[in-house]
């Protein structure tokens, strides 16, 4: 190890652009504590292929997608698509 002078500051360590682990997701991840049962932990580990956090994110993302599909389907049922102009014209001509 090289000898350091006490009169100068060290340039070792500290912030370096581009250093450190790269993100695995587009959005930043937030640390949060959960209390889970052993079967839940086992399921998430299996679902995330050995990574509990990845399994939890995958399960949540799929649940969000299912919920969005259900909302979209219910909106389509509540407001049916307008009929073609030809069909509208035909119904207007009938007495």
**Helices marked H in 13-84 — which ranges?**
38-47, 52-78
For 42, other C-beta atoms within 10 Å of its C-beta total: 13
What does residue 88 show for φ and ψ, rounded to 5 degrees? -65, -40
pLDDT score for 85: 61
Residue 25: the pLDDT is: 81
Query: Which residues does 35 contact at the CB level (< 8 Å), separation at least 6?
Result: none
| 60 located within any domain | yes
Domain that holds residue 62: 35-72
- The answer to whether residue 89 sits within a structural domain is no
Number of separate domains in the chain: 1
Whether pTM exceeds 0.75 = no
Q: Residue 12: its pLDDT value, please?
A: 77
pLDDT at position 65: 96
Mean pLDDT by 10 residues, the chain (95 residues): 60 80 85 96 97 96 95 82 59 57
- Confidence (pLDDT) at 22: 84
Look at residue 36 in the predicted model and tell me its pLDDT: 97
């Amino acid at each position: 190890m090289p000898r350091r002078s006490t009169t100068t500051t060290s340039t070792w360590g500290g912030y370096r652009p581009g250093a450190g682990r790269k993100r695995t997701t587009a959005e930043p991840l937030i640390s949060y504590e959960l209390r889970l049962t052993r079967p839940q932990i086992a399921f998430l580990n299996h679902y995330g292929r050995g990574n509990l956090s990845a399994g939890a994110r995958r399960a949540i993302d799929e649940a969000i997608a299912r919920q969005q599909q259900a909302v979209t389907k219910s909106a389509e049922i509540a407001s049916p698509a307008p009929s073609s102009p030809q069909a509208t014209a035909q119904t207007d001509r009938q007495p």
